[in-house]
Amino acid sequence: MPVQILGARLIDPASGRDEVTDIFLQDGKVVAIGQAPDGYEAATSIDARGLVAAPGLVDLSVALREPGYSRKGSIASETLAATAGGVTSLCCPPQTRPVLDTPAVAELILDRARESGHAKVYPIGALTRELAGEQLAELVSLRDAGCVAFGNGLREFANSRNLRRALEYAATFDLTVVFHSQDADLAEGGLAHEGPVASFLGLAGIPETAETLALARNLLLVEQAGVRAHFTQLTSARGVQMIADAQARGLPVTADVAMYQLILTEDALQGFSSLYHVQPPLRSHADREALREAVRQGVVSAISSHHQPHEVDAKDAPFGATEPGISSVEILLPLALTLVQDGLLDLPTLLARLGSGPAAALNLPAGRLAEGMPADLVLFDPASSTLVGESWLSKGRNCPFLGHCLPGAVRYTLVDGRISYRR
Which pLDDT value is given to residue 158? Answer: 78
Euclidean distance between CA atoms 306 and 414, whole angstroms:
22
Domain count, the chain: 2
In a domain, 368, yes or no: no
Give residue-wise pLDDT tens across range 315-370: 999 999 999 999 999 999 999 999 999 999 999 999 999 999 999 999 999 999 99
Give residue-wise pLDDT tens across range 11-22: 999 999 999 999
In a domain, 400, yes or no: no
Domain identity same for 152 and 106: yes
CA–centroid distance for 47 within its chain: 30
In what order do the strands lie in the sheet containing 228-231?
Answer: 57-59, 87-92, 120-126, 149-151, 176-179, 228-231, 253-258, 302-304
In a domain, 268, yes or no: yes
Is the pTM above the cut of 0.75? yes
Tell me the pLDDT band of 1, cut-offs 50, 70 and 90.
Answer: confident
Domain identity same for 248 and 185: yes
Domain identity same for 154 and 253: yes
Domain identity same for 29 and 105: no
Whether the pLDDT of residue 265 is over 90: the answer is: yes
CATH number at residue 243: 3.20.20.140
Which pLDDT value is given to residue 161? Answer: 95
Mind spelling out the 3-state secondary structure of 327-388?
A: CCHHHHHHHHHHHHHCCCCCHHHHHHHHCHHHHHHCCCCCCCCCCCCECCEEEEEEEEEEEC
Domain identity same for 377 and 285: no
Signed CA dihedral, 90, 95, 97, 98: sign only: positive
Domain identity same for 63 and 161: yes
Number of H helices, E strands in the chain: 13, 18
The amino acid at residue 196 is P
In a domain, 158, yes or no: yes
Tell me the pLDDT band of 156, cut-offs 50, 70 and 90.
Answer: confident
Range of the domain at 73: 56-362
Domain identity same for 157 and 226: yes
Percent of the chain with pLDDT over 90: 98
Q: How many beta carbons lie within 10 A of that of residue 243, not counting itself?
A: 21
In a domain, 96, yes or no: yes
Which pLDDT value is given to residue 157? Answer: 87
Mean pLDDT of the chain: 97
